[in-house]
């Protein structure tokens, strides 16, 4: 199991965007100031009354001129890029003090927080990242009241009583700041390698555990994973060692290259780390991101090497003699590979097939020109596949939602697996024989693992299913199409309570992403219950830049075509207003990471369209992003200022450079974490400073900067509660909503069922909170 290691993984950690885990019963963690000597927040903020401009901490303007291809660009706040300077830390501390003063002074904040904690605390166990080895299942399990997911092992998905905990991060770190990045069991299931990191940094050290005893073997591999290049590992067939991704160690590269130049090394169990041996990678590019897999037989190892974050790959195979062979180059457009049970290689190709086709190579025959076509390109976009002994399962995207098609190994279609409409499949996993497990989720039902029977084609929900303390039985989902600026039809998913009036008065929350070929798929978000109880509408846009409609959809929103993403989103916002779902005075937007860039573009291109903007860990200075470690990996997606045409495109939309003096900007909340390895927190600091200085309105522009978290992954659950309480409080306040909602604000009518109010506890035996 290898974790997603690009910027796109942010949605995993934003509970208002994606399904979330439960919080801890530990004392809540307030967003810490950057300076340990910062004063506590005041009980109230002077000048924060209605219509008054907030007393923003002053950020000195120190102009620095940078020149790009003859264009001179002046940056007043470049000094805020240094997060370690005492002056910068004092400024961040003052920003946090202001934010706390504003939010904590709102009477509804305590009630919102209590409801957030109540909902998340009662959410049942969530199993994800399943992997089978040695006749048993390994999984990550998020279970309230734990701060972090644990690694567990059980006999099968239908036998939860056999579960044992192998690695509990809270035993390692009772403060809850250590997290499991990823894990890989040996093929015999006797050992498991686990990458662990601290403080949301994602800079992981691999430790090896004995599965039978749960004890460490003493083997450790430092810096096998990072928040920039990610990390991966593949065991040797005999289980006596493993190949792993190794970052440069101190003294091997200049400081600025330590998060780059990933290579593949081999570690022999029982040997000290200094004896780890180089295997492959001296020819890899600086921005290589490697994923490793071992064949079921254990004889072969596959290395898929991504060229940064743009979706281009090289592929290598290590044979039984110990020889690596590169069999696919970037022009071959092989974007995914898996071993079949007979060591044949199944490949997802987009060469001449922008929606994808599955081809196959026989063992020892690595000539792509001789590859056998198994599943041709069709209308659906092939996202993943799972070969078994006599079946091939293909996971498709249909504009956002999923489907699963079933084939025999000759490519004969055998139908589709029955899954709920407008739902998504998050993972395919092996089961006994030709059977298959898949993790499914929809906007109205929590995630669950389902078993598909190859014999009769039936699907059964396993006991590894989440339950929630809220019901969405009164909620409906529809899909509509918006028309973008260039005429492109863009899908938007609308989630709202049945019978919501289309009179323009409902509050609406619009979100999207649009990048890296990452699709925004349906997901269950229990905190949306609070929004629905306000009569609110949630809109999820499937923008260009993702892969909802294949490679062409991705390429329609990357590099010099990035503006299409922003136009698509604005079209969805206009659709909500024109369709009377909401009005500009009731419309809020929310996004994170690459979706934070989207928020910044909307702020600067269409400030009049939105009332509230929530932007998590966003990118805003597109001219200097590539100077940061992970920013270099993003060049293949965004472009580089070194190229004249790409610079022109970047500068044309860079949010930081399009903040205009005297503009009345919407109420905005920027959120960031000091340990973010994917998006440098300086983006949020600079954007907040510039907007606070420029805005002519009284709507608040706030910065919430945590000193103990990162991009989102690994955030302790108690900190998630505080963050979501702040986000919802800010949304409700700025949209003029009360909490609890008053009658007429969308609250359930008197006598309405508890299920409609989202207050039904899970049935006994179905994940009720312990």
Q: For strand 277-280 and strand 263-268, is the pairing parallel, antiparallel, or unpaired?
A: antiparallel
Asked if residues 289 and 306 have their Cβ atoms less than 8 Å apart, the reply is yes
> Among 31-35, 103-107, 527-531, where is mean pLDDT lowest?
31-35
pLDDT mean over 277-290: 96
How many residues does this entry show for the chain?
Answer: 770
Q: What is the DSSP letter of 253?
A: B
Count Cα neighbours of 68 within 13 Å in the Cβ-side half-sphere. Answer: 19
pLDDT of residue 299 exceeding 90, the answer is: yes
pLDDT band at 35 (very low <50, low <70, confident <90, very high): very low
pLDDT of residue 676 exceeding 80, the answer is: no
Cis, peptide link before residue 213, omega less than 30° from 0: no
Question: Which residues 6+ apart lie within 8 Å of 501 measured at CB?
Answer: none
Asked if residues 164 and 155 have their Cβ atoms less than 8 Å apart, the reply is no
Query: pLDDT (tens digit, 9 = 90+) per residue, 46-86?
Result: 344 457 899 999 999 999 999 999 999 999 999 999 999 99
pLDDT band at 765 (very low <50, low <70, confident <90, very high): very low
pLDDT at residue 709, as a whole number: 73
pLDDT at residue 195, as a whole number: 96
pLDDT at residue 421, as a whole number: 84
371-378 CB contacts, 8 Å cutoff, 24+ apart? 371/347, 373/411, 374/346, 374/407, 374/409, 374/410, 374/411, 375/405, 375/407, 375/411, 376/411, 377/353
CA angle 169, 180, 23 (to 5 degrees): 60
Among 1-15, 188-202, 649-663, which range has the highest average pLDDT?
649-663
pLDDT mean over 726-740: 95
pLDDT band at 16 (very low <50, low <70, confident <90, very high): low
Asked if residues 32 and 97 have their Cβ atoms less than 8 Å apart, the reply is no
pLDDT mean over 636-664: 97
When the pLDDT of each residue in the chain is averaged and rounded to a whole number, the result is: 88
pLDDT at residue 587, as a whole number: 98
pLDDT band at 732 (very low <50, low <70, confident <90, very high): very high
146-149 CB contacts, 8 Å cutoff, 24+ apart? 146/24, 146/170, 146/717, 147/24, 147/26, 147/176, 147/716, 147/717, 147/718, 148/176, 148/178, 148/179, 148/180, 148/714, 148/716, 148/717, 149/21, 149/179, 149/180
SS (H, E, C) 660-712: CCCCCCCEEEEEEECCCCCCCCHHHHHHHHHHHHHCCCCCCEEEEEECCCCCE
Q: Which residue has the tokens 């041996």?
A: 277
pLDDT mean over 686-715: 88
pLDDT at residue 50, as a whole number: 54
Q: What is the DSSP letter of 636?
A: H
Give buried/exposed letters for 421-431 (b at 16+ CB in 10 A, else e): ebbbbbbbbbb
pLDDT of residue 764 exceeding 70, the answer is: no
CA-nearest of 530, 465, 532 to 157 is 465
Q: Could you tell me if residue 361 is left (phi over 0), alpha (psi between -120 and 50 degrees) or otherwise beta? A: beta
Q: Please provide the DSSP assignment of 333-372 as one string.
A: -EEEEEE-TTSPEEEEE-TT-TT-EEEEE-TT---GGGPE
Asked if residues 488 and 568 have their Cβ atoms less than 8 Å apart, the reply is yes
pLDDT of residue 352 exceeding 50, the answer is: yes
pLDDT at residue 227, as a whole number: 84
pLDDT of residue 24 exceeding 90, the answer is: no
Q: At what angle do helices 717-734 and 108-121 cross, to 10 degrees?
A: 140
Taking the C-alpha atoms of residue 105 and residue 603, their distance in angstroms, rounded to an integer, is: 26
Taking the C-alpha atoms of residue 286 and residue 280, their distance in angstroms, rounded to an integer, is: 14
Query: pLDDT (tens digit, 9 = 90+) per residue, 504-539?
Result: 999 999 999 999 999 999 999 999 999 999 999 999
Q: Please provide the DSSP assignment of 22-89 as one string.
A: ---SSPPPPPPPSSTTPPPPPSS-TT-STTPPP-PPP-----EEEEETTEEEEETTGGGG-TTSHHHH
pLDDT mean over 270-292: 96
Backbone angles phi, psi at 629, to 5 degrees: -55, -55
pLDDT band at 415 (very low <50, low <70, confident <90, very high): very high
Asked if residues 523 and 318 have their Cβ atoms less than 8 Å apart, the reply is no
Q: What is the DSSP letter of 195?
A: E
Backbone angles phi, psi at 477, to 5 degrees: -125, 130
pLDDT of residue 770 exceeding 60, the answer is: no
Query: pLDDT (tens digit, 9 = 90+) per residue, 479-489?
Result: 999 999 999 99
pLDDT band at 34 (very low <50, low <70, confident <90, very high): very low
CB atoms within 10 A of CB 580: 13
Q: For strand 413-416 and strand 423-430, is the pairing parallel, antiparallel, or unpaired?
A: unpaired
pLDDT mean over 596-608: 98
Query: pLDDT (tens digit, 9 = 90+) per residue, 525-581?
Result: 999 999 999 999 999 999 999 999 999 999 999 999 999 999 999 999 999 999 999
pLDDT at residue 743, as a whole number: 60
Task: Supply 116's token pair.
Answer: 């957030």
pLDDT mean over 4-31: 34
Beta-ladder partners of 334: 349
Taking the C-alpha atoms of residue 246 and residue 412, their distance in angstroms, rounded to an integer, is: 42
pLDDT at residue 714, as a whole number: 64
Taking the C-alpha atoms of residue 168 and residue 710, their distance in angstroms, rounded to an integer, is: 21
> Among 209-218, 249-258, 356-365, where is mean pLDDT lowest?
249-258
CA-nearest of 769, 636, 704, 750 to 306 is 636
pLDDT at residue 666, as a whole number: 98
pLDDT at residue 748, as a whole number: 42
Asked if residues 557 and 545 have their Cβ atoms less than 8 Å apart, the reply is yes
Task: Supply 575's token pair.
Answer: 């659709």
Q: What is the DSSP letter of 609?
A: G
pLDDT mean over 12-41: 34
Query: pLDDT (tens digit, 9 = 90+) per residue, 386-411?
Result: 999 999 999 999 998 999 999 999 99
pLDDT at residue 757, as a whole number: 33
Question: Which residues 6+ apart lie within 8 Å of 153 measured at CB?
Answer: 136, 137, 138, 139, 163, 164, 166, 192, 211
Give SS3 for 193: strand
Query: pLDDT (tens digit, 9 = 90+) per residue, 114-164?
Result: 999 999 888 789 999 999 999 999 999 998 788 889 999 999 999 999 999
pLDDT of residue 270 exceeding 70, the answer is: yes
pLDDT mean over 183-194: 97
Asked if residues 129 and 140 have their Cβ atoms less than 8 Å apart, the reply is yes
Q: Give the residue, 237 or 7, on which the prediction is more confident.
A: 237
Taking the C-alpha atoms of residue 581 and residue 599, their distance in angstroms, rounded to an integer, is: 20
Query: pLDDT (tens digit, 9 = 90+) per residue, 314-328?
Result: 999 999 999 999 999
CA-nearest of 323, 322, 324 to 314 is 324
């Amino acid at each position: 199991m290898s974790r997603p290691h690009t910027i796109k993984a942010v949605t995993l950690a934003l509970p208002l965007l994606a399904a979330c885990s439960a919080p801890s019963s530990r004392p809540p963690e307030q967003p810490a100031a950057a300076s340990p000597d910062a004063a506590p927040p005041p009980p109230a903020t002077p000048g924060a009354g209605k219509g008054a401009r907030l007393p923003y901490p002053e950020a000195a303007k120190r102009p620095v001129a940078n020149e790009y291809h003859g264009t001179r660009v002046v940056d007043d706040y470049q000094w805020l890029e240094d997060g370690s300077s005492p002056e910068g830390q004092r400024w961040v501390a003052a920003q946090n003090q202001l934010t706390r003063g504003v939010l904590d002074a709102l009477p509804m904040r305590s009630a919102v927080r209590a409801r957030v904690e109540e909902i998340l605390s009662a959410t049942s166990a969530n199993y994800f990242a399943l992997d089978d080895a040695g006749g048993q299942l390994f999984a990550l399990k998020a279970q309230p009241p734990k701060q972090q997911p644990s690694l567990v092992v059980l006999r099968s998905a239908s036998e939860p009583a056999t579960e044992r905990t192998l690695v509990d991060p809270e035993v390692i770190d009772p403060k809850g700041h250590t997290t499991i990045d990823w894990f890989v069991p040996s093929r015999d299931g006797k050992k498991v390698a686990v990458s662990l990191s601290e403080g949301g940094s994602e800079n992981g050290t691999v430790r090896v555990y004995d599965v039978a005893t749960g004890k460490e073997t003493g083997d450790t591999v430092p810096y096998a994973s990072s928040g920039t290049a990610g990390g991966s590992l593949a065991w040797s067939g005999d289980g006596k060692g493993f190949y792993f991704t190794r970052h440069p160690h101190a003294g091997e590269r200049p400081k600025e290259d330590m998060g780059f130049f990933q290579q593949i090394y081999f570690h022999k169990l029982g040997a000290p780390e200094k004896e780890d041996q180089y295997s492959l990678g001296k020819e890899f590019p600086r921005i290589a991101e490697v994923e490793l897999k071992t064949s079921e037989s254990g004889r072969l190892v596959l290395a898929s090497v991504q060229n940064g974050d743009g979706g281009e790959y090289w592929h290598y195979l290590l044979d039984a003699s110990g020889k690596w062979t590169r069999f696919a180059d970037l022009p071959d457009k092989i974007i995914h590979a898996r071993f079949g049970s007979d060591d044949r290689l199944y490949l997802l190709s987009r060469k001449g097939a922008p929606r994808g086709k599955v081809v196959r190579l026989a063992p020892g025959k690595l000539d792509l020109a001789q590859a056998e076509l198994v599943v041709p390109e069709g209308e659906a976009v092939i996202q993943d596949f799972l070969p078994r002994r006599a079946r091939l399962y293909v996971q498709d995207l249909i504009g956002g939602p999923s489907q699963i098609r079933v084939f025999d190994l000759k490519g004969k279609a055998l139908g589709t697996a029955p899954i709920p409409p407008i739902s998504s499949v998050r993972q395919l996993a092996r089961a006994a024989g030709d059977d298959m497990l898949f993790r499914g989720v929809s906007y109205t039902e929590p995630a669950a693992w389902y078993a598909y029977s190859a014999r009769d084609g039936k699907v059964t929900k396993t006991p590894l299913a989440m339950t929630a303390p809220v019901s969405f039985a009164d909620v409906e989902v529809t899909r509509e199409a918006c028309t973008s600026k260039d005429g492109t039809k863009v899908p938007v998913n609308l989630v709202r309570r049945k019978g919501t009036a289309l009179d323009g008065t409902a509050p609406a929350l619009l979100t999207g992403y649009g990048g890296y070929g990452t699709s925004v798929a349906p997901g269950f978000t229990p905190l949306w219950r609070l929004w629905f109880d306000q009569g609110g509408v949630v809109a999820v846009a499937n923008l260009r830049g993702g892969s909802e409609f294949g490679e062409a959809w991705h390429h329609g929103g990357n590099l010099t075509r990035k503006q299409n993403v922003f136009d698509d989103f604005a079209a969805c916002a206009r659709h909500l207003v024109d369709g009377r779902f909401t009005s500009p005075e009731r419309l809020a937007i929310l996004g994170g990471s690459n979706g934070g860039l989207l928020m910044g573009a909307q702020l600067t291109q269409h400030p009049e369209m939105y009332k509230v903007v929530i932007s998590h860990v966003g990118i805003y200075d597109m001219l200097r992003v590539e100077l940061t470690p992970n920013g270099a990996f993003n060049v293949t997606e965004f472009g580089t200022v070194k190229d004249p045409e790409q610079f022109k495109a970047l500068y044309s939309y860079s949010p930081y450079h399009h903040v205009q003096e005297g503009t009345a900007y919407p109420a905005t909340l920027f959120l960031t974490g000091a340990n973010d390895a994917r998006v440098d927190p300086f983006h949020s600091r600079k954007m907040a400073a510039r907007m606070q200085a420029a805005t002519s309105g009284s709507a608040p522009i706030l910065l919430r900067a945590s000193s103990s978290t990162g991009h989102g992954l690994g955030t302790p659950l108690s900190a998630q509660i505080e963050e979501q309480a702040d986000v919802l409080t800010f949304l409700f306040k700025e949209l003029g909503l009360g909490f609890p909602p008053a009658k007429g604000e969308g609250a359930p009518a008197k006598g309405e069922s508890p299920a409609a109010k989202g207050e039904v506890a899970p049935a006994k035996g179905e994940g009720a909170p312990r």
